[in-house]
Amino acid sequence: MVQQVDRADPDRTGRSHQPGIADPQQQRVDRANPGHARPPLQPARADLWSNNLTGPVPAWLYDLPNLESLSLGWNELTGPIPAWLGDLSNLVGLVLTVNQLTGPIPAELGNLSNLKWLDLSFNNLTGPIPASLADLSNLQGLSLRANHQLTGCVPIALRDLAENDLDELDLPYCR
């Protein structure tokens, strides 16, 4: 069953989306001390949904440790999902749906203890589903749909999480 994604809230955090993100390198002027620059903005949201992005997941996102929501869906991102995404400990929503990402799902995503929604659907991911995803105790939704080269079955610990805590689970069949 294909689910419609609410484009106003694709990462399902309950917050409305404003397109784009402030340039993390942009300096703000300190009005109290003209001529002095404040540190770069540290946004809580990076909504880069359907922005025609190409190439790998942008490395500059690693420099935004306060991110709570990262939506990179519906772009043309390629290459592996970077393991450093597992270091963005404030993430509540991570959406990488409908790209051309390849390789395994990084086990490091299991470090995202605040994560409520993870959508890696419609990519070209390979290998087994990491058991570390069962460590996501706050997870409410997980979608790995249409990653036809994922292998093995859903790890038992993740099945247990699904039976007790997940509102939505969309996984491929065992291979």
Position 121 in a domain? yes
Q: Which residues pair with 168 in a beta bridge?
A: 141
Position 9 in a domain? no
Cα–Cα distance measured from residue 100 to residue 125, given in angstroms and rounded to the nearest whole number: 9
Position 5 in a domain? no
Cα–Cα distance measured from residue 112 to residue 89, given in angstroms and rounded to the nearest whole number: 5
pLDDT tens-digit series, residues 120-155: 999 999 999 999 998 998 999 999 999 989 988 777
Residue 80 sits in a domain whose CATH number is: 3.80.10.10
What is the predicted pLDDT for the residue at 152?
83
Find the domain containing 90 and state its range: 39-170
- Torsion angles phi and psi, residue 158, rounded to 5: -75, -35
Residues ≥6 apart with Cβ < 8 Å to 104: 80, 125, 126, 127, 128, 130
Position 166 in a domain? yes
**Cβ atoms within 10 Å of 22's Cβ, excluding its own:** 13
Question: What's the total number of domains in the chain?
Answer: 1
Cα–Cα distance measured from residue 170 to residue 8, given in angstroms and rounded to the nearest whole number: 21
Position 31 in a domain? no
Position 94 in a domain? yes
pLDDT tens-digit series, residues 38-92: 556 678 999 999 999 999 999 999 999 999 999 999 999 999 999 999 999 999 9
Position 78 in a domain? yes
Query: For the purposes of burial, counting CB atoms within 10 Å of the CB of 126, is it exposed (0-12), middle (13-18) or buried (19 or more)?
Result: middle
Position 102 in a domain? yes
